[in-house]
Structure 1
Amino acid sequence: MRQRFFIGALVSLLLTAIPARAEVKLAYVDVQRALNECDAGKKAKGEFQGRVETLESRLQRQQNEVQSLKDEIEKKGMLMNPDQRQSLQDQYVAKLKNFERDYKDSKDELQRKDNEITAKIVHDLAQVIRTIGERDGYTMVMEKGSILWGTPAIDVTDQLIRSYNQMHVQIGTLGESTRGGVGLGGGGVTRSSAEQAGARPPSDFGSAATKRSTISK
């Protein structure tokens, strides 16, 4: 909440610094909704769900094997000779460790992949937002989650989604090169005047970008 008040105060200071005769034109975007509803986000979500189902099936088989060994030890362990019981116990411990390790590694890998794909799509959205802002003469384009209130009339999220979908580019590649770049209606995006002047293009919307998710929302 303090961050939102800080951003609001910063916006107020920026606006007061603009000459009185200058037109102030503001807009905002819902980045999480854009992630969820853009074609790239939907594709990533579908691929993620398929990967999850495959992993769940494999982990379930491992868990069943572990449980089967545990049941055998509990039911027949006392009837076995010490060597047989120890051998079965060793198998159980080994399979349990393998299951726990595989579970953790799989979970970490899914999270890493989620973060990687999300970061690439957010990078592209940032490039499209910059182009929309410069083309349509916006003084500032803010993120919905960072403002206290904004009229729906200045929400350009739908425009952002449509523009990004029309590009049909490999995710994470917008803004990498000026070669073959075209406007918002084509297969790429030209570098902005700010980028041509040496300004660093936005790769995300700050540290909060890493907390978003394309595929787990």
Structure 2
Amino acid sequence: MKRTISVFAVLSVLVLAAVAPAEQGQTGQTGQTGQNGKIGYVDLQRAMNMSEHGKNVKLELEGMVKEKTQMVEKLARERDAMQQDLEKNRMVMSEAAVRDKLDQIKKIDRSAERMIEESNEELGKVQRDKEIGILKDLDAIITEIGLEGEYTVIIPAEMVLYAPE
């Protein structure tokens, strides 16, 4: 309930209305009928970012990014240590041992690349899933604002080419 109220407050600030003609339909060959209506628009990205749920999602994603970054950095440190060991001991190592060490370094590199790709995919999926949940909440609130404010239509701000501020 508290989240709904805070999102409602954000949206009521973000929904701006302009009185403009809204076409209601055509009457065949005799012409068009028009009726004045209220058109509103909402900055969905801003509403998502300002809502409590959106802020929590952002914090959760930042935590996931930090965790994934630490894992990749750990692999990078392992790789660097192996590389330094190879450079330091290369002269006393057999050719087979050098190849083995280089193979291990390449394996760590591939593992890090794979981890980065998988992490990016996972983070993208989590973000999309969380945003869908937020958008469902926003949809209900936008509908409520539209009905209470007697708007003809409320559109995303990204579709608005001009509106007075």
Q: Normalized against structure 1, the TM-score is what?
A: 0.58
Identity in percent: 25
Work out the CA distance in 1 between the residues paired with 2:159 and 2:68: 36
| Deviation of the 1:129 alpha carbon | 1.0
SS at the partner of 1:151?
Answer: coil
Structure 1 vs Structure 2 CA RMSD: 2.3
Work out the CA distance in 2 between the residues paired with 1:78 and 1:15: 84
Which structure shows the bigger proportion of residues in helix conformation? 2
SS at the partner of 1:138?
Answer: coil
Which residue is 1:117 aligned to? 130
Q: Deviations over 1:3-57 (max 9, x none)?
A: xxxxxxxx9773675855x441221111111011011100000111111111111
Q: Which runs of 5+ in 2 are unaligned?
A: 1-19, 27-31
Aligned pair 1:78/2:87, yes or no? no
Q: Normalized against structure 2, the TM-score is what?
A: 0.75
1:7-22 → structure 2 map (5 Å cutoff):
14=23, 19-20=33-34, 22=35
Which residue is 2:104 aligned to? 91
| Deviation of the 1:75 alpha carbon | 3.1
Q: Which runs of 5+ in 1 are unaligned?
A: 1-10, 153-217
Work out the CA distance in 2 between the residues paired with 1:88 and 1:64: 15
Contact 2:41 2:154 in 1 (8 A): yes
Q: How many residues align?
A: 141
Match of 2:51 among 38, 55, 70: 38
Structure 1 residues 82, 148: closer, same or farther in 2, change over 3 A?
A: same
Q: Deviations over 1:73-123 (max 9, x none)?
A: 233223201232233222212222111111111111111111111122122
Q: Deviations over 1:134-179 (max 9, x none)?
A: 2321111121110112234xxxxxxxxxxxxxxxxxxxxxxxxxxx
Structure 1 residues 67, 14: closer, same or farther in 2, change over 3 A?
A: farther
SS at the partner of 2:163?
Answer: coil
Work out the CA distance in 2 between the residues paired with 1:50 and 1:59: 14
Which structure shows the bigger proportion of residues in strand conformation? 2
Which residue is 1:139 aligned to? 152
Work out the CA distance in 2 between the residues paired with 1:121 and 1:64: 38
SS at the partner of 1:149?
Answer: coil
